[in-house]
């Protein structure tokens, strides 16, 4: 996400940091570089022009001279302005005291409406709000079936409908069921088209009138750049939109849509989608996203993801196992699966301050998450006793495990050696001198060993 833009901003910041005294000419050069970087990222021209002017106006010569680190003074202003153009923070859903509250999901084909509907239902479920999914897309083959499968996967009820019913009838009957089961929220998935046309708009208006929604969320593909902004404007003019969900942000190396859409349309971004997994929906935080763009990480989101992925009781139990040196391969597998829930290795790196800039220096092989899948397959091929006492695994057992997991005895041996190192490191860290030893290790480290898994 924002890979190209982050790389360019990091280069601009690096140049400023290497200057002892920053002149007016240095500022003009930096702003010129920022303007080119934003335009290259497909950010709307008017947004770029306004952004550059605002940054320049806020750099006060007196404050710049008094700043202990002039470069960071400029970066702080750029960070504030980036936050402003990204829009207002998500303020939560508009809801009433009457149940169910209703969310209408709209957008073009291929934007990810159906998947986003399920992601939103899971987000609400994790926030202690029960919901029902209503499949009102009768045009796309298997759209209803897709939503049923997704609903079943996340444990959310889906209204039983079929293509013989009209979208308006499905909506009305689905809302009746939502009321009967006392659902907090009803999420209506609607049909799309490859382009905006009058038939689509008429259908959406009929569903809107039948549901009287609290929220109308437009789902747009971030990778379409400025076209996403145009689509949002058209839908907003014809239907009226309360918020946006930007999907496929994980594949958007430029970021033009995210940086333009709220500023141009005036519609707040509510969520961003970072993958196909149902857990990959994040609440939109402009300040956190600005921090990621500037390569400064996003510790708050990382902490939230960790909190969601790691059970507090399990962590306490794990701590005791580490202290007593009883941490085994079953525990190791459990921790790997929890880490996978937090997102891809690349996404986690983006959120660590000072580490995100190393992404381009890490080889594709190290970024390849097949290492985790391979390790999981190897551990799954072991008996329970072998997982608990990996020291009993000899040559014949290694061969059996490698055959069962589709790997080689060398792969099994490598995992066992790495696990041995991890267990030793955990034991050392739990000792009284563990923290000092860890600091020494960090100081001697020359890089990141992703293959630790």
Domains for the chain: give ranges and CATH numbers. Answer: 3-86 (1.20.120.140), 101-295 (3.40.50.300), 301-452 (1.10.260.30)
Confidence at 70, pLDDT banded by 50, 70, 90: confident
Closest by alpha carbon to 52, among 65, 69, 39?
39
Looking at per-residue confidence, does 352 or 138 come out higher? 138
Looking at the predicted structure, is the pLDDT value of residue 89 above 90?
no
Tell me phi and psi for residue 96, to 5 degrees. Answer: -115, 175
Closest C-alpha to 263, from 36, 64, 85, 82: 85
Average confidence (pLDDT) over 24-45: 91
Q: Is pLDDT above 50 for 367? A: no
- Residue-level pLDDT at 280: 85
What pLDDT, on a 0 to 100 scale, did the predictor assign at position 302? Answer: 52
Work out the average pLDDT over 143-160: 94
Measured CA to CA, the distance from residue 76 to residue 16 in angstroms comes to: 13
Task: Determine the Cα–Cα distance for residues 138 and 73; give it in Å rounded to an integer.
Answer: 54
Banded pLDDT at 313 (limits 50, 70, 90): low
Query: Distance between CA 281 and CA 299 in Å, rounded?
Result: 17
**pLDDT at position 308:** 55
Q: What is the mean pLDDT of the chain?
A: 81
Encoding tokens for residue 208? 């809107």
Backbone angles phi, psi at 91, to 5 degrees: -100, 10
Say what the pLDDT of residue 361 is: 46
Cα distance between residue 175 and residue 148, in whole Å = 16
44 near 264, Cβ under 8 Å? Answer: yes
Distance from C-alpha of 262 to C-alpha of 44, rounded to nearest angstrom: 11
CB atoms within 10 A of CB 180: 9
pLDDT at 453 over 50: no
Length of the chain, please?
453
Angle at 274 between CA 372 and CA 205, to 5 degrees: 145
Entry pTM: 0.68
The answer to whether residue 158 scores a pLDDT higher than 70 is yes
Confidence label for 35 from pLDDT (cuts 50, 70 and 90): very high
User: What tens digit of pLDDT does each residue of 266-281 get?
Assistant: 999 999 998 888 888 8
CA distances from 223 to 40, 220, 270, 409, 436 (A): 14, 9, 17, 42, 46
CB of 216 closer than 8 Å to CB of 242: yes
**Per-residue pLDDT for 285 more than 50?**
yes
Mean pLDDT of 292-301: 63
Lowest-confidence region among 147-151, 161-165, 189-193, 200-204? 161-165
86: Cβ contacts below 8 Å, ≥ 6 apart: 258, 259, 262, 263, 269, 286, 289, 290
Indicate whether 88 pLDDT > 60: yes
Residue range 186-198: average pLDDT? 91
Q: How many CB atoms lie within 10 A of CB 385?
A: 10
CA distance 30 to 73: 13
């Amino acid at each position: 996400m924002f890979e190209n833009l982050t790389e360019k901003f990091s280069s601009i910041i690096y140049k400023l940091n290497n200057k002892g005294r920053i002149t007016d000419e240095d500022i003009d050069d930096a702003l010129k570089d920022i303007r080119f970087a934003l335009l290259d990222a497909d950010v709307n021209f008017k947004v770029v022009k306004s952004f550059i002017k605002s940054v320049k106006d806020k750099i006060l010569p007196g404050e710049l001279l008094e700043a202990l680190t002039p470069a960071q003074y400029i970066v702080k202003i750029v960070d504030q302005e980036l936050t402003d153009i990204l829009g207002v923070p998500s303020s939560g859903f508009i809801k009433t005291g009457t149940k169910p509250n209703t969310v209408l999901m709209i957008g073009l084909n291929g934007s990810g409406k159906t998947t986003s509907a399920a992601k939103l239902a899971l987000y609400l479920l994790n926030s202690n709000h029960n919901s029902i999914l209503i499949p009102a897309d009768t045009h796309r083959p298997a759209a209803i079936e897709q939503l049923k499968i997704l609903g079943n996967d996340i444990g959310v009820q889906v209204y039983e409908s079929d293509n013989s019913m009209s979208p308006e009838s499905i909506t009305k009957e689905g809302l009746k069921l939502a009321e009967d089961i006392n659902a907090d929220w009803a999420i209506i998935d609607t049909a799309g088209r490859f382009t905006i046309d009058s038939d689509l708009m008429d259908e959406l208006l009929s569903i809107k009138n039948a549901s009287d929604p609290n929220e109308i969320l437009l789902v747009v593909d971030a990778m379409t750049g400025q076209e996403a902004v145009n689509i949002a404007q058209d839908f907003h003019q014809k239907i009226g939109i309360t918020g946006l969900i930007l999907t496929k942000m994980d594949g958007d190396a430029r970021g033009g849509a995210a940086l333009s859409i709220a500023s141009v349309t005036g519609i707040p971004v509510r969520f961003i989608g970072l993958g196909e997994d149902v857990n990959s929906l994040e609440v939109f935080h402009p300040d956190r996203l600005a921090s990621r763009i500037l390569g400064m990480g996003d510790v708050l989101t990382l902490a939230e993801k960790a909190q969601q992925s790691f059970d507090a009781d399990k962590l306490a139990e794990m701590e005791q196992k580490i202290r007593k040196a009883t941490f085994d391969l079953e525990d190791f597998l459990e921790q790997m699966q929890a880490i996978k829930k937090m997102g891809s290795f690349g996404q986690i790196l983006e959120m660590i301050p000072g580490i995100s800039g190393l992404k381009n220096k890490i080889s594709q092989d190290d970024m390849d998450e097949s290492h985790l899948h391979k390790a999981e397959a190897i551990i799954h091929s072991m008996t329970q006793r072998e997982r608990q006492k990996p020291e009993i695994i000899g040559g014949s057992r290694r061969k059996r495990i490698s055959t069962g997991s589709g790997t080689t005895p060398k792969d099994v041996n490598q995992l066992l050696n790495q696990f041995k190192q991890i267990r030793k490191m955990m034991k050392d860290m739990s000792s009284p001198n563990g923290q000092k030893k860890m600091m020494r290790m960090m100081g001697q480290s020359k890089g990141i060993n992703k293959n630790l898994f």
